[in-house]
C-alpha cells in the first residue's frame, strides 16, 4: 500500500510539472490567427531587410538566422512559410541579380527547411531539455547545440548550392571540386559567421521574443 501511494504521489508530481511547463510555454497571442499573420509578415520583412542590408558584405548574413528564429518561435508551418516567402523575394529581387531558376528552386527549398529545423529544435528543447519561456539560453550546452545547427545548415547550403550552380552552368560534376575550392575562403567566412551568430545572437533573440509573447 505504501509503495502504491508513493507511486501515485510521484505520478501526480510529474503531471503537475508537465502542466506547469505547458502553461509556461503557452501564449494566448499565438492562438490568434490575425496576430500570427502579423508575425509571419514581420519575420519575413525582417529577414528580407537584413538580407538587403548585408547583401554587399560577402557571405556575412543574418537571413538564415532570422528564418530559423521564426520557425523556433512560430512552429513548423509558419516557419516554412516565412522561409519560402522571404527567400523568394530576396533571391528573386536580389540587388546582385536574380538567382537562376535551378538555384532559386534550391534556395526556396533550403530556407523553407531552415524554418522547419527551427521549429523542430524548439520542440526538442521543450520535450528533451525542458525549456521554458523564461529560461536562460546562454548555457554552454544550448549554445553548443545552436552552433552545431548553424554550422550544419550553412555548410549544407554552401555544398549543395555549389552543386546546383555547377550542374546549371557546366552540366557536369567534373568542375565541382575546382569551383568549390575557388570560393573556399568565402565559404569558411559564411560558415564561421553563421555559427557565431547562432551561438551568441540567437539565444538572446529567442529569450527576448519569448518574454514579449508569453
Return d(Cα 92, Cα 94) in angstroms, integer: 6
pLDDT of residue 73: 96
Other C-beta atoms closer than 10 Å to the C-beta of 27 total 15
How crowded is the C-beta side of 124, counted as CA atoms within 13 Å?
A: 12
pLDDT of residue 24: 45
Domains of the chain: 28-213 (1.10.1760.20)
pLDDT of residue 135: 76
Exposure string of 81-116, with b = 16+ CB inside 10 Å and e = fewer, is bbbbbbbbbbbeeeeeeebeeebbebbbebbbbbbb
pLDDT of residue 214: 78
pLDDT of residue 29: 77
pLDDT, tens only, 60-98: 999 999 999 999 999 999 999 999 999 999 999 998 899
With a cut of 50, which residues of the chain have pLDDT below it? Answer: 3, 7, 10, 12-24
pLDDT of residue 23: 41
Amino acid at each position: 500500500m505504501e509503495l502504491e501511494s508513493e507511486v501515485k504521489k510521484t505520478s501526480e508530481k510529474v503531471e503537475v510539472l508537465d502542466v506547469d511547463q505547458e502553461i509556461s510555454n503557452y501564449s494566448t497571442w499565438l492562438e490568434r490567427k490575425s496576430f500570427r499573420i502579423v508575425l509571419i509578415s514581420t519575420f519575413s520583412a525582417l529577414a528580407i531587410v537584413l538580407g538587403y542590408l548585408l547583401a554587399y558584405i560577402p557571405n556575412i548574413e543574418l537571413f538564415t538566422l532570422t528564418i530559423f528564429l521564426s520557425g523556433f518561435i512560430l512552429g513548423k508551418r509558419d516557419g516554412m512559410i516565412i522561409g519560402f516567402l522571404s527567400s523568394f523575394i530576396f533571391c528573386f529581387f536580389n540587388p546582385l541579380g536574380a538567382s537562376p531558376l535551378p538555384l532559386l528552386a534550391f534556395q526556396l527549398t533550403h530556407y523553407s527547411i531552415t524554418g522547419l529545423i527551427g521549429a523542430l529544435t524548439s520542440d526538442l528543447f521543450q520535450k528533451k531539455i525542458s525549456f521554458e519561456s523564461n529560461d536562460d539560453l546562454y548555457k554552454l550546452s544550448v549554445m553548443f547545440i545552436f552552433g552545431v545547427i548553424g554550422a550544419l545548415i550553412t555548410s549544407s547550403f554552401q555544398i549543395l548550392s555549389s552543386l546546383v550552380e555547377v550542374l546549371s552552368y557546366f552540366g557536369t560534376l567534373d568542375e565541382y571540386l575546382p569551383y568549390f575550392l575557388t570560393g573556399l575562403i568565402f565559404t569558411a567566412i559564411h560558415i564561421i559567421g553563421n555559427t557565431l551568430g547562432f551561438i551568441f545572437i540567437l539565444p538572446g533573440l529567442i529569450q527576448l521574443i519569448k518574454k514579449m509573447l508569453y
